[in-house]
Chain A
Amino acid sequence: MEVTDIRVILAPAISLLCAALVFVAGSNKHWRRFWMLSAATLKLGVVMSMLPGSLQGTVYTWDMIDFTPGIGLAFRADALGMFFAAVSSTLWVITTIYAIGYMTGDEHRVRFFGFFALCVSTTVGLAFAENLLTFFLFYEMLTICTYPLVIHDETPDALKAGRKYLTYTLIGGAFIMVGSVIVYDATGTLSLGHPGILSAELGTRTLLLIFVSLVGGFAVKAAVMPLHGWLPSAMVAPTPVSALLHAVAVVKAGAFGILRTIYNVFGVDLLEEIGFAVPLMWIAAFTILAASLVAIFQDNIKRRLAFSTISQLSYIVLGAALLTPFAATAAIVHIANQAFAKITMFFVAGAIQRTTGKTNVHELAGIGYRMPWTMGAFTVAALSFIGMPLFAGFITKWYLSLGALESGEYWVLAVMIASAMLNAAYFLPIVYLAFFKAPPGTKLRVAEARPTLLISTLVAAAYVIVLGTTAEVPGMPFSLAQAAVHFVFGM
């Protein structure tokens, strides 16, 4: 059932308004905080108010402008989009609180928070995009809005990273545009509201061209190897930005784009028939393992997390490429699972950096005695990535493995297990160092991060557990993912 509803554009518009207010009247820190927090909660409220309807299968739509008949800005909140929007607006609230605590005393805060809000606005717009054009528009806006955040510190390193980021993503964006144009040329529509708009009659060459340009374009942001180069170097950004880049906005936009391409542009049946997904599957599996191997020897915490992100994102790609309902469920829920666990880790890294000034793994010995709660949160996230049951990551691994078995790709199981092992190999030493390697002879006192940092970290960690334990509870995001899968697979 499709309903025209203003809330679909209200959600991005609130963030947009917030950004405008911050830019215009954000020099006073109290007002700025007020705008940020009220907009974040308000938007979360708006998105959540659509959740019950969405769970019952209602699709909210809103057509804005038609540039020419058939092409225009249009929004449509289906289950998949709702899932993404719910995740990003929840995380926005947490990250805002964290960022307020983190950026205290920093320079250019107006610019920072303004673009911060803009990013979230575009992310939600992207989630609700009804057609490839709208999608593309928000996708590119996202790129541009995150640039000032990446270069926030304006050090030569930051500027260089920003340039690299722009180069990578804008070139990726160009490919997406090319792909969209070919799609429109071939089918006369750009709509994302169907389980597939292409058909096999177009011929393999056209289809291949579309597949490569769309998936290749999105894969840049999804940091699929070898297109991942921008992500580790973008680590120079302030921690809330890294968290946002990694967990919510940018990389997930790429992954979400791949999901949209596979499920809504091509459609599962067509891909099954033409078999393009198989190489993608291999690339994703390679990325999962290779990035993890690289991560093991990274000493900088954020850099290690960055490679972990690269590895984790490919779970989504792998899940999508497996083309089975279980794997699709895994791919979709991993958007949330990875987001919460990774944001927890970044929050922890940031909190440690702000509280003790430490940025490298080897300096963390005994930090668990100083910041037990923070490192507790880190442990939760680490266990989630390893795939311990009761934590969010397990759900992904479980469904992904089931999906792999469903499609008969037994080797994926080996990849899963190897990846879990590698995750253990680069996260558990940190936990061990923190809790059991106190430098001898010193009495360490508890000195936690400031409350705003700590609370948001703990909330994110709590979400990891909640997502891991309540998957089957009706009304949780998991059911949205299942609704999306049902739509995609026509079940």
Chain B
Amino acid sequence: MHEAADIAYHPLPALLVLWPLLCALAVRPLGKWREDVRNGFVLFATGVTLLGAAALIPVLSAEHKITAEIPVLIGKLHFVVDPFGMLFALFTTFVWFAATLHALDYMQHETNRDRFYTTSLVVLGAMLGVVLAGDLITLYLFFEVLGLVAFLFVIHTETDEAKRASVKYLWMTVLGGFSLVGGIFLTYALGHTGAIGPIPLEGGTETLRWVTFGLLVLGFGVKAGMLPVHVWLPDAHPVAPSPASALLSGVMIKAGAYGIFRTVTALFRPEVVEEVSEELWHMTSDFGLVVLWIGIATMSIGVTLALGQHNAKRMLAYHSVSQMGFILVGIGAAGYLGSHGAMGVAGGLLHVVNHALFKGALFLGIGAVAFRTGELNMYKLGGLWRKMPWTFVFMLIAAAGITGVPLLNGFVSKCLIHHALVEAYEVRHLMSLDIAEKIYVLTCGGTACSFIKLIGLVFLGKPKTEYGPEVREAPPRMLTALGLLSAAMLVIGIRPHIVLRGVFAPGLHEWALHSDLLEYYLEHYFLSPADLMSVVVAFAIGATVFVVGMRFGLFHLHAPRWFGVDYWYGVLARTFLRVCEWVGGWYERYLRFASRSLRSIRLGYRSMYARVERGWRRTVITITTGAPGPRNQHFIQNAYIALERERQATVRYAVTRAHEWLRATPDTEPARSTATVDAVRDIASYMATRQMNQRMNVLTDMVRTGEIEAARHSFDDVLAEVRLFRDGVAHTAIELAQRRMTGEDVIREISAEVNRISSEERFDRRLRAATARIHPAIPRVQSIGASARDAMPTPALVTEWRVRGLGRFERASRWLVEIVRLVVEVTTQERSNWMLSDRLDQETIIEMRRNIQRYARDMSFNMAMILVVLVVFVLSIAAGIER
């Protein structure tokens, strides 16, 4: 780019950026301490920044271009200030100062004031960082900080509307930021440098340049409120507090304009030297034309939408979109005209400054109105000029400025842009540019109409409602702020020479553009009859539209929602979310599939393992006991489960009967009936358990004697037969329960009943009989096991002994009996709470018990093996000794 020689090093730009950021740190502590000190401090900080920016003027007039660095990030943050950057810094700090002054009063009726002022200072620093940035990284950094921190401005009031607007704002900002960073990367790829200067023409293909340009313009355009990515702006600007709206609309969107300006006139242009052949400009002019047309679309659509608004701030926000269109037209024309683009540059940038001034003033003025009346709907206000004369005067000046009344600032810049447009048409006589020029004039008319409407509805006419005493002139500090801005507007309007000669001439010279055009304009065209005429035309159009519109209510017409680009963004976002959901669902399906296949592998492995294990177990069993064979074992297991089920069914049956019985017996108190049911359950479960154990013993014995081979077929039938005995159990249980309730010891009766039922039942005989029915050829001998079972001291027997007073015997075998009792108890679980296990998974419990038995058997086998090994060991040692 430039030789290093003509850039002088100066720390001022870096200080200018850092100062507000540092001050922001102090806001919160000061605000916690005393509000007025904080207010003073914020004003002081902003004022110092303004003075610092003003101090750039003498420095820059001496040096043309200065640079500064802060060592941070990848390398350093570079700041380079040329006259254009200085211009941006100046108006930024100026409007900021005015808005801060205004905010001191306005913010009194808002909350979170500390946050507001902190945000304000941080954003100020970031804004200065953007416009003073010397390379794209620095620019990007501050651009992102600006965008993300300004989020706090938008959401400040934290109403639902503000939240919706801020979310939209955030997403647009973030997406714009990504587009921008993509563009910056590609710029690096094209030029191998991040400097804000011409990208060498030889790097990269045509397509790549277009993509780069597109990404950059889109990234900056989001912030600038450019069509079609302006949708956040009309939502976000009105919901912020008025000073913040002034800053958002007046200053911050200029960061985007600044970016587009630099993209068109600094990045995509030929080398900065005095004589450049015109062919090298062709790409710049292509890009310029694109920007120009975006500008035309933005300005016309913006103004059309503004006409339909009721909310004053929303209308102003749409005007910001429209006015950004003017700026883009200026910048586009500058690009299109290449080295002769001075008029476009000057028009566009002057309009940037002007828009900051009058849009700032308009928002602050409307803020003052809202501050006093609390109303923003234009159609509900009116006649305020009596109540707020000074506000009215300043608003009138600002409105005159934006509509381009001569001797005010808007007039100059609009004329410059218009001239640039005409000039652009004359280069190649493109029909389209002729149309663009017509649209431009129409848009000026629309603007005029809007502001006739604003002033007319809000300040003139008759009040729609009776104003209370609180509606009076705005506080002095607000008026001062408005006055400052109005004064600046007048100065630029009357003497544009100061800016044009003082800033634009050296600036254009710096970028090797022909600056003599400006001089020519000032001498021949400034306030010329032709230009004045065009203002008259615009106002004529505006007045006509206003009258017609008010008469026929055209301002209340609204296009259907699908007509707006906003709607389609919504559709796009929802589609994206749906795609995400779809991917998520797909992922879940994948996970399920993977885990299912893994599980089937695992299960396959397990069943194989189990099969092997079963084989091994069978072998072990065969070796140790020889019986029962695997078939019998299986049968025993099933029978066990069936008997267990029968046992539980019996208990349940008894409980049901108990309930029935209680229902049949009237006048039972609830506590008593619960106790009865519990008692029945206890007794029934004890009995059923005993019953089950006996049946199980019968089966085991038959297995041992081999009879079961036949009995297995009849087991189910027998089981169905013995179901009859449930009734007996239930009956006994209910009867005994009543007795127990009276405090009687019924344990002996229970045992007796069990024995009675068992002897009635004769499970073994039934089995044999059934077997005999099926296999009459297999009458088998009774097992010894049965007699052994009878010989076992059952708990009942033990109790009997105790009763009979077999003292000596009892003492001698106390511990043995105790152990036997324990074992019997544990294995039969007669005292355990069956209700608990009912709640548990019954299959699991049964399974568990079986496992314990199996484990015990395996352990015994292992012990036997160890014994055998030991014996063999000892024998072999003994044999060794002998030898």
- Asked whether any CB of chain A lies closer than 8 Å to the CB of B144, the reply is yes
Interface stretch, picked from A86-94, A183-191, A413-421, is A413-421
- Asked whether any CB of chain B lies closer than 8 Å to the CB of A67, the reply is no
- Asked whether any CB of chain A lies closer than 8 Å to the CB of B117, the reply is no
Inter-chain contacts of A398 with B (CB < 8 A): 74
- Asked whether any CB of chain B lies closer than 8 Å to the CB of A428, the reply is yes
Contact B584 A469 (CB under 8 A): no
Nearest B residue to A429 via CB reads B167
Q: How large is the interface on A (under 10, 10 to 19, 20 to 34, 35 or more residues)?
A: 35 or more
Nearest B residue to A421 via CB reads B178
- Asked whether any CB of chain A lies closer than 8 Å to the CB of B185, the reply is yes
Inter-chain contacts of B170 with A (CB < 8 A): 428, 432
- Asked whether any CB of chain A lies closer than 8 Å to the CB of B175, the reply is yes
- Asked whether any CB of chain A lies closer than 8 Å to the CB of B71, the reply is yes
Contact B141 A389 (CB under 8 A): yes
A456 to B456, CA, bound (A): 61
- Shortest A162–chain B CB gap in Å is 16
- Shortest B186–chain A CB gap in Å is 7
Nearest A residue to B162 via CB reads A436
Partner of B137, one of A294, A387, A389, A473: A389
Contact A293 B74 (CB under 8 A): no
Nearest A residue to B143 via CB reads A389
- Asked whether any CB of chain B lies closer than 8 Å to the CB of A290, the reply is yes
Contact B144 A294 (CB under 8 A): no
A402 to B188, CA, bound (A): 8
- Asked whether any CB of chain B lies closer than 8 Å to the CB of A48, the reply is no
A196 to B762, CA, bound (A): 87
Nearest A residue to B588 via CB reads A294
Inter-chain contacts of B174 with A (CB < 8 A): 386, 421, 424, 428
- Asked whether any CB of chain A lies closer than 8 Å to the CB of B652, the reply is no
Inter-chain contacts of A436 with B (CB < 8 A): 155, 158, 163, 166
A388 to B189, CA, bound (A): 20
Interface string of A395-422 (1 = CB under 8 A from B): 1011001100100001001100100110
- Asked whether any CB of chain A lies closer than 8 Å to the CB of B721, the reply is no
- Asked whether any CB of chain A lies closer than 8 Å to the CB of B769, the reply is no
Contact residues of A between 279 and 304, Cβ < 8 Å to B = 290, 293-294, 296-297
- Shortest A443–chain B CB gap in Å is 13
Inter-chain contacts of A293 with B (CB < 8 A): 579-580, 583-584
Partner of B594, one of A229, A294, A383, A402: A229
- Asked whether any CB of chain B lies closer than 8 Å to the CB of A174, the reply is no
Inter-chain contacts of A417 with B (CB < 8 A): 178-179, 181-182
Contact A296 B584 (CB under 8 A): yes
- Asked whether any CB of chain A lies closer than 8 Å to the CB of B464, the reply is no
Contact residues of A between 20 and 63, Cβ < 8 Å to B = none
Interface string of B569-606 (1 = CB under 8 A from A): 00000000101110110010001001000000000000
Q: List 12 A-B contacts (CB under 8 A).
A: A229-B594, A290-B583, A290-B587, A389-B137, A390-B141, A390-B145, A405-B188, A413-B182, A420-B178, A421-B178, A436-B163, A472-B73
- Asked whether any CB of chain A lies closer than 8 Å to the CB of B75, the reply is yes
Contact B587 A294 (CB under 8 A): yes
Inter-chain contacts of B179 with A (CB < 8 A): 417
Interface of B is mostly: helix
Nearest B residue to A289 via CB reads B583
- Shortest B232–chain A CB gap in Å is 15
Contact residues of B between 139 and 197, Cβ < 8 Å to A = 140-141, 144-145, 148, 155, 158, 163, 166-167, 170, 174-175, 178-179, 181-182, 185-186, 188-189
Given A297-B581, A405-B188, A424-B174, is A469 in contact with B182 using a C-beta cutoff of 8 Å?
A: no
A299 to B158, CA, bound (A): 25
Contact A294 B185 (CB under 8 A): no
Inter-chain contacts of A471 with B (CB < 8 A): 73-74
Contact B580 A387 (CB under 8 A): no
Contact B141 A297 (CB under 8 A): no
- Asked whether any CB of chain B lies closer than 8 Å to the CB of A368, the reply is no
Inter-chain contacts of A388 with B (CB < 8 A): 144, 148
- Asked whether any CB of chain B lies closer than 8 Å to the CB of A468, the reply is yes
Given A297-B584, A389-B140, A405-B189, is A468 in contact with B181 using a C-beta cutoff of 8 Å?
A: no
Inter-chain contacts of A297 with B (CB < 8 A): 580-581, 584
A131 to B577, CA, bound (A): 47
Partner of B186, one of A296, A387, A413: A413
Interface residues of A (CB under 8 A from B): 229, 290, 293-294, 296-297, 383, 386-390, 394-395, 397-398, 401-402, 405, 410, 413-414, 417, 420-421, 424-425, 428, 432, 436-437, 468-473
Kindly name the residue among B74, B144, B175 whose own CB sees the greatest number of chain A CB atoms within 10 A.
B74
Inter-chain contacts of B175 with A (CB < 8 A): 421
Other than the given A386-B174, A469-B72, 6 more pairs (CB < 8 A) read A297-B584, A413-B186, A417-B181, A417-B182, A471-B74, A472-B71
- Asked whether any CB of chain A lies closer than 8 Å to the CB of B76, the reply is yes
- Shortest B525–chain A CB gap in Å is 44
A405 to B187, CA, bound (A): 11
Inter-chain contacts of B181 with A (CB < 8 A): 387, 397, 417, 420
A397 to B166, CA, bound (A): 27
Contact residues of B between 43 and 77, Cβ < 8 Å to A = 71-76
Nearest A residue to B142 via CB reads A389
Contact A389 B73 (CB under 8 A): yes
Contact A294 B583 (CB under 8 A): yes
- Shortest A459–chain B CB gap in Å is 20
Give the 10 A-B CB pairs with smallest separation, nearest first: A389-B141, A405-B189, A297-B584, A293-B583, A401-B185, A417-B178, A296-B580, A469-B72, A294-B587, A424-B174
Inter-chain contacts of B583 with A (CB < 8 A): 290, 293-294
A326 to B175, CA, bound (A): 25
A402 to B75, CA, bound (A): 15
Nearest A residue to B584 via CB reads A297
Contact residues of B between 557 and 571, Cβ < 8 Å to A = none
- Shortest A465–chain B CB gap in Å is 10
Given A290-B583, A293-B580, A417-B178, is A390 in contact with B73 using a C-beta cutoff of 8 Å?
A: yes
- Shortest A293–chain B CB gap in Å is 4
A417 to B174, CA, bound (A): 11
- Shortest A416–chain B CB gap in Å is 8
Contact A472 B75 (CB under 8 A): yes
Inter-chain contacts of B76 with A (CB < 8 A): 472
Inter-chain contacts of B178 with A (CB < 8 A): 417, 420-421
A413 to B178, CA, bound (A): 11
Given A297-B581, A389-B141, A421-B174, is A405 in contact with B185 using a C-beta cutoff of 8 Å?
A: yes
Inter-chain contacts of A432 with B (CB < 8 A): 167, 170
Inter-chain contacts of A383 with B (CB < 8 A): 148
Inter-chain contacts of A405 with B (CB < 8 A): 185-186, 188-189
Nearest B residue to A383 via CB reads B148
- Shortest B578–chain A CB gap in Å is 11
A436 to B175, CA, bound (A): 21
Inter-chain contacts of B584 with A (CB < 8 A): 293-294, 296-297
Kindly name the residue among A294, A410, A472 whose own CB sees the greatest number of chain B CB atoms within 10 A.
A294
A472 to B186, CA, bound (A): 23
Inter-chain contacts of A425 with B (CB < 8 A): 580
- Shortest B805–chain A CB gap in Å is 55
Inter-chain contacts of B580 with A (CB < 8 A): 293, 296-297, 425
Contact A469 B167 (CB under 8 A): no
Nearest A residue to B573 via CB reads A425
Interface string of B66-98 (1 = CB under 8 A from A): 000001111110000000000000000000000
Contact B73 A469 (CB under 8 A): yes
- Shortest B871–chain A CB gap in Å is 42
- Shortest A25–chain B CB gap in Å is 39
Inter-chain contacts of B163 with A (CB < 8 A): 436-437
Inter-chain contacts of A437 with B (CB < 8 A): 163
- Shortest A330–chain B CB gap in Å is 11
Inter-chain contacts of A229 with B (CB < 8 A): 591, 594
Kindly name the residue among B148, B179, B181, B189 whose own CB sees the greatest number of chain A CB atoms within 10 A.
B181
Inter-chain contacts of A294 with B (CB < 8 A): 583-584, 587
- Shortest A163–chain B CB gap in Å is 10
- Shortest B440–chain A CB gap in Å is 35
